[in-house]
A and B are shown apart, each in its own frame.
Chain A
């Protein structure tokens, strides 16, 4: 019973304990050994990767609303941060620019409010239409930010006060990642999370069972946007420079989608695992071919969607659900896919 054993090893509780231990080790890491700035920066980037993937998973994986423009909340967070830190004194006399800690929650809340405004119309649409509407939101926001020169600096962008403190960045992202992962783990077990998954499986059915689907979807969307906005604000401060082209890049959304798909859509620990693998791949393998790595990323996404749609964790849990799992376990017979039934 190989499957059974794998399932027990990857049980929610075991993985949760494993992650908690990993988080504690990571918290001690810079204290125990002398880390170079670049190593701290890399680890911080991994934390950002993992947290973004988990945020995306909340709406894209658990709720089943694949968001092709989630990076828009990153951008909103980053620009609200930039404006609050550098521009406010131009409009309110005697008000100095806000500090990092004052501006950060506002950046997150702004992204959340933006998610509410966008989600109210778009989350009423069915999955594919929502996906495209979000892609549109993303591209449109990039344009709008470029046009609003007075606030955002247009294409020239904004310079934030440079405060170089890699260790603070490291701990901030570690704590935020920990909070997000615990929150996702908790949501996954809670009634709220179960309702989200019910929406993913059968939205009409969920509605029939008395779940207020619109409310649930919007709350999940806003939570994801809040966390992504916080990271956007943090990133703006860490990077000390933002313009529409570095903040609103498709690659960021692709990475979130990729990491979630790779690890296992809708699982708690899949997206972090996928993000980790993706980061290592990008850093180790593709840094040698920096030009072509997005080509590889795109092709990899196609391959994953076609052959391993359940991701790594999904394959472990139910090997017969993906082509790869079937191949590894030596399954011969083609499993009937319930979704192939023609809908016309």
Chain B
């Protein structure tokens, strides 16, 4: 029972991180209709960014978010202007192929610069504390807390600010948004920038708990896809809920299948994905745009 409860806690902590990791993917898909297969690579870039800052300047990975997010916002903005803008209104397939190419190029570019050796980002407060008989690893708890803050901030931004409202307007009906004076191109670029910044931030946070290497990306892309299918496109509460479901299922599989550990994380995620897509093709929750799977 204790073990089960502990697994639930671990799954919950993991799920919070998944929630923030998936935001960028989910919002880009929801707003622009682009499935970004290079999503995991931006997690990887964020993680390397934190590693570099930590190694060269000794900056704490959580503190380095202040630097990483603005820089990656600009990177995302530029990328949207140069590349993604050309594929937004084309068929899904074009976007998939282009972002697939991007993911291969980015992963191997980083292998070129940083070699394939796994890196770790050390933090001084690497311990755990007990609460009500359950163990909470400090780093993972910080990641969870920060994730919640980020999600809340994005939610408020999308719901209540003028820019957030134009982003949602562009997602719901591009033509109508144009008519009422939303500059859709600009809104797309800003959205992409925000999403890349968030994704990189997730990468920087996760660099404290898992090894960082150039090919760490694809599992994140796949998990992001599963969570988005669970939580609906572009919905932040949905992202959190989907993330927690996946996190809990993954941890439960890890304790129930002996001798496997977390090695079946992707397989679990994949089975979950196929089941959702077949049982509920429109996604578990309603998103910014319908999924139209079959």
The answer on a CB contact under 8 Å between A302 and B102 is yes
Q: Does A339 contact B (CB under 8 A)?
A: yes
Residues of B within 8 A of A66 (CB): 93, 96-97
**Sample (24) of A-B pairs whose CB atoms are under 8 Å apart:** A121-B278, A125-B294, A127-B93, A131-B96, A133-B273, A143-B264, A143-B266, A251-B104, A291-B112, A292-B109, A294-B104, A295-B105, A295-B112, A297-B104, A297-B105, A298-B101, A298-B102, A299-B105, A301-B101, A302-B83, A306-B94, A309-B94, A337-B90, A344-B175
Task: Assess whether A113 is interfacial by the CB under 8 Å rule.
Answer: no
A18 part of interface (Cβ distance < 8 Å): no
Q: Which residues of B contact A254 (CB under 8 A)?
A: 100, 104
Q: Which residue on B lies nearest to A68, using beta carbons? A: B100
Which residues of the other chain, A, contact B270 by a CB distance below 8 angstroms? 133, 136-137, 139-140
Query: Which residues from A are CB-within-8-Å of B274?
Result: 121-122, 133, 136
A32 within 8 A of B: no
Q: How far is the CB of A298 from chain B (nearest CB, A)?
A: 3
Residues of A within 8 A of B (CB): 64, 66, 68, 121-122, 124-129, 131-133, 135-137, 139-140, 143-144, 146-147, 250-251, 254, 257, 261, 291-292, 294-295, 297-302, 305-306, 309, 337, 339-340, 342, 344
Q: A302-B105, A309-B94 are in contact. Are A340 and B222 (CB under 8 A)?
A: no
The answer on a CB contact under 8 Å between B278 and A305 is no
When each residue 155-197 of chain B gets 1 if its CB lies under 8 Å from chain A and 0 otherwise, what string results?
0000000000000000001110000000000000000000000
A294 touches B105 (CB 8 A): yes
- Whether A295 lies near B264 (C-beta < 8 A) is no
Interface residues on B, range: 35 or more
Proximity bits, B18-35, A CB within 8 Å = 1, else 0: 000000000000000001
Cα of A294 to Cα of B271 in the assembled complex, Å:
30
Complex contacts, A292 vs chain B, CB 8 Å:
108-109, 112
- Please give the distance in Å from A253's CB to the nearest CB on chain B: 9
The residue in chain B whose Cβ has the minimal distance to the Cβ of A339 is B91
Interface centre among B87, B89, B174 (most CB of A within 10 A): B89
Report the Cα distance A339→B95, complex, angstroms: 13
Asked if A306 meets B267 with Cβ closer than 8 Å, knowing A129-B293, A136-B273, the reply is no
User: Is B269 in the interface zone, CB < 8 Å from A?
Assistant: yes
Pick the contact of B277 from A129, A147, A294, A344 — CB < 8 Å?
A: A129
Q: Within the assembled complex, what's the spacing in Å between the Cα atoms of A301 and B87?
A: 14
Distance (Å) between the CB of A170 and the closest chain B CB? 30
Q: By CB atoms of chain B within 10 A, which of A68, A122, A344 has the most? A: A344
Q: A residues within 8 A CB of B112?
A: 291-292, 295
Residues of chain B having any CB pair with chain A under 8 Å:
35, 37, 83, 86-87, 89-94, 96-98, 100-109, 111-112, 173-175, 218-219, 221-222, 225, 260, 263-267, 269-271, 273-274, 277-278, 281, 289, 291-294
When distances are taken between beta carbons in the complex, the residues of chain A under 8 Å from B293 are: 125-126, 129
Q: Which residue of B lies closest to A337 (CB)?
A: B90
Residues of B within 8 A of A121 (CB): 274, 277-278
Residues of chain B within 8 A (CB-CB) of A342 are 89, 174-175
**In the complex, which residues of chain B have a beta carbon less than 8 angstroms from the beta carbon of A295?**
104-105, 108-109, 112
Known: A132-B225, A306-B86, A309-B94. 17 other contacts (CB 8 A): A68-B96, A122-B274, A124-B294, A125-B278, A125-B293, A129-B291, A136-B270, A139-B218, A144-B267, A254-B104, A291-B112, A295-B112, A297-B101, A298-B101, A301-B104, A302-B101, A344-B173
Given A124-B294, A125-B277, A129-B293 in contact, is the A298-B222 Cβ separation under 8 Å? no
Contact A128 B93 (CB under 8 A): yes
The 4 A-B residue pairs with the shortest CB-CB distance in the complex, in nearest-first order: A298-B105, A301-B101, A298-B104, A294-B108
Contact call A132/B222, Cβ cutoff below 8 A: yes
Residues of A within 8 A of B266 (CB): 136, 139-140, 143
| Interface SS of A by simple majority | helix
How far is A309 from B91 in the complex, measured between Cα atoms in Å? Answer: 12
Residue of A nearest to B175 (CB): A342
Contact among A64, A122, A131, A340 with B89 in the assembled complex (CB-CB below 8 Å): A340
The answer to whether B100 and A139 touch across the interface, beta carbons within 8 angstroms, is no
Kindly list chain A residues whose C-beta atoms are within 8 Å of the C-beta of B96: 66, 68, 128, 131
Q: What's the least CB distance linking B264 to chain A, in Å? A: 6
Q: Give Cα distance in the complex from A251 to B104, angstroms.
A: 8
- Contact status of A126 and B294, CB under 8 A, knowing A133-B273, A295-B109: yes
Chain B nearest Cβ from A168, distance in angstroms: 34
Inter-chain CA distance A292–B104, complex, in Å, is: 11
- Residues in chain A near residue B107, CB distance under 8 A: 294
B93 surroundings in chain A (CB, below 8 A): 64, 66, 127-128, 131
CB closest residue in chain B, given A133? B274
Give the distance to chain B from A326, nearest Cβ to Cβ, in Å.
16
Give Cα A339–Cα B83 distance, bound, in whole angstroms. 18
Determine the chain A residues whose CB is within 8 A of the CB of B264 once the complex forms: 143-144, 147
State the CA gap A287–B269 with chains docked (Å).
37
Name the distance in Å between A244's Cβ and chain B's nearest Cβ: 11
Q: Are B267 and A140 in contact (CB under 8 A)?
A: yes
A143 and B294 contact, CB distance less than 8 A: no
Q: What residues of B have a CB within 8 angstroms of the CB of A127 in the complex? A: 92-93
A96–B112 Cα distance when bound, in Å, is 45
